[in-house]
Amino acid sequence: MRLLRSIFLVGSAAALSGGLAVSAVTAGGNAAPAVRANPVRAHLTASFRSEARAALVRDLNRNHGTAWFVHGRPGNTSRVANTTAESTFNWAGYADVSSTHGHFTRVSGAWTVPSVTCTAEDRITSDWVGLDGFSSSTVEQDGTVSQCFEGRAVYYSWYEMYPAGTIAVGTTVAAGDKIKASVSRSGSAYTLALTDSTRGANSFTKHATCATTTCPDTSAEWIAERPAYSIGIAPEAQFATVPFSAASETAAGRTSTISGYSGTNYDITSIDATGTYDIASVSGLTGGNAFKATWKNSY
């Protein structure tokens, strides 16, 4: 779920929801009747939901969930002292950033899985904490997904450790679950851990390695995201708010809150493809380590 610094156009709602219309014209110029594909429906069995998750993860892996900055948005001002406002097409949250390789060694946070309101259109939102991705092309992240598929909500936990793509883990996550997650590093060794205190089967601890010459550890993030795919950025699933809390990072051996970090802090708003309005916005910080991400629009 990495950030790319360039312009991205979101596909139409029809394309993203799998709509298909085919028309033909005869040699004489007379238009043949339009042929429309009927939507494929299936019973939402456990097997079907598993296949939906697997298909999503495969698509994320092809594009590594990239998200994109939108620099110079008019009126882009921060609501938090000593914090710089930034806009992307699909990140909303906070990031602490450094130019020094190996600067961050840990990030952690907690949130409540949001309930999503589903329509016939497939939509998705993902909440996570992570190192890297803001100012580098690598990511070390873990979190939860709330996905609308065939008009129903599907939830699960996941992690992503560069260079591998997204790995789905717990499949019984539900709206309202209490989540704690962290990514920590010692040298080139990483530990990615997530605890679902409501449904423990979704919890995990994963170990991986990445040299600091490859994974620079120059940022720590707390994000609500609408993931990007090879075909475009998914519409943001509709939710009320996602409350993040207990946000902490360790940088250069010093542990602090988001606002307690002595380097550069960013508050990030997700905006639409035209740069006109918000997709998801974030509140100011409470106690330096808590905020809410609020849904505004889907695309």
Cβ pair 16, 9 in contact under 8 A: no
CA distances from 154 to 81, 158, 184, 230 (A): 38, 13, 28, 21
Fold of 3-12+44-295: Jelly Rolls (2.60.120)
CA nearest 194: which of 205, 178, 210, 208? 205
Residues 145-181 have pLDDT tens digits of 999 988 889 999 999 999 988 899 999 999 999 999 9
Cβ pair 147, 259 in contact under 8 A: no
Which residues sit opposite 148 in a β-bridge?
Answer: 123, 153
Question: Within the chain, where are the H helices?
Answer: 13-16, 46-63
- Cα dihedral 178, 259, 107, 155 sign: positive
Give me the half-sphere count of Cα atoms (radius 13 Å) on the Cβ side of residue 257.
13
Residues 98-150 have pLDDT tens digits of 999 999 999 999 999 999 999 988 899 999 999 998 888 889 999 999 999 88
> Which range (54-63, 225-234, 240-249) has the least confidence?
54-63
The letter for the amino acid at 231 is: I
d(CA 13, CA 208): 38
Peptide bond into 163 cis (omega under 30): yes
At 287, list the tokens: 């106690």
Global pTM?
Answer: 0.81
d(CA 209, CA 7): 32
CA nearest 163: which of 73, 61, 18, 55? 61
d(CA 275, CA 85): 14
